[in-house]
Structure 1
Amino acid sequence: MLDIATAVCLIVGSLMSLAAGIGLLRFPDLLSRMHAATKPQVFGLLLLLTGLGLQLRSWAVVPLLLIAWLFQLLTVPVSAHMVGRAGYRTKHLRREILSVDDLDAVVEAAAEENPEGVDAVPADRVTAEGRAAAAEVEPGMPADPQSAASAAGPAVNNQDSTGTPRD
Structure 2
Amino acid sequence: MRASEILAVMSALATSGLACASHPRPEATEVPAGPASRGEASCRHDLGRCGGHTPGDGACRSATPDTPKNPLEDVVLAPGKFAEINLDMGDGSSTEVTFEATGGPLEWNVHSHDGDNVVIHAEGTGTDGKLRFAAPRAGLYSYLWKNAGAGTVRLSTRLASTGQVRVHSVEPAP
Higher relative contact order (CA 8 A, sep 6+): 2
Give the structure with the larger helix fraction: 1
Give the structure with the larger strand fraction: 2
Q: What is the TM-score with the length of structure 1 in the denominator? A: 0.23
Q: What is the TM-score with the length of structure 2 in the denominator? A: 0.22
